[in-house]
Amino acid sequence: MRQLRGQERAITGNRQTSLAFAEAYGAGTIDDTADAALHWSRDRAREAGIRTVSTGTGSALSLLAATADAKAVAEIGTGTGVSGIYLLHGMRPDGVLTTVDLEPERQQFARQAFRAAGFAGNRARFIPGGALDVLPRLADGGYDLVFCDGDRMEYADYLAESLRLLRPGGVVCFEGVFADGRTVDSGEQPAEIQRLRELLRSIRESTRLVPSLLPVGDGLLCAVKRA
């Protein structure tokens, strides 16, 4: 038993080391100009008390946007532009990111960050407002990828809108589904965590989606809309 416990500790330690390596692997995969803009954007986020996507999550978003050959992406939660830089990096050169946020001031930071990263002004469309007010105005089937990083209490509603917005073969992603480990904690949890668990279950059980939960950052839940 003592030997087995030692092996378990080694396995756990190796797994943590591997996850840390995977998280850091995406660093340096974008050019120096965009990397400087990312650092600037992260600094603005820290000053505003906003959490941003991790390097691993960002590189996953770039990969997914590139895999989808994304020309049109919708983002819920502009923040200061960190996730937007990663998405634009993976999108087609003529692609347009439509990004929604309740705080126009944050979108101004994102606008500066995108420009500093080398993206032309017409590569992003900024829409201030609540996601559930804005999303119904976007075109059915007009998007290759939808990235959700807004109010977790509204994630189920974002899913319903995403299924309408996405073309067949399009991708929807939800950031932060681990909720700092609370999602898998067996103890009593607030309503927000219950909503995340319901989201995980509904996506996994949906016949319209092919899902995967990526262990990057605070958990990135992804699903492809079946044709």
Condensed to tens digits (0 to 9), the pLDDT of residues 153-202 reads 999 999 999 999 999 999 999 999 999 999 988 888 899 999 999 999 99
The length of the chain is 227
Terminal CA-CA length for the chain: 50
Claim: this prediction has a pTM higher than 0.95: no
Condensed to tens digits (0 to 9), the pLDDT of residues 76-91 reads 999 999 999 999 999 9
Instruction: Assign 12 a pLDDT band (cuts: 50, 70, 90).
Output: low
SS3 assignment, position 225: strand
Condensed to tens digits (0 to 9), the pLDDT of residues 42-58 reads 999 999 999 999 999 99
For residues 80 and 106, the answer to whether their CB atoms sit within 8 Å is yes
pLDDT of residue 29: 74
Separation in Å, CA 89 to CA 141, 182, 188, 203, 204 = 22, 31, 40, 27, 29
- What angle (nearest 5°) sits at the alpha carbon of residue 130, between those of residues 180 and 210? 55
pLDDT of residue 183: 94
CA distance 206 to 191: 22
Residue written as tokens 């996953």?
60
Token pair recorded at residue 59: 């590189």
pLDDT at 8 over 50: no
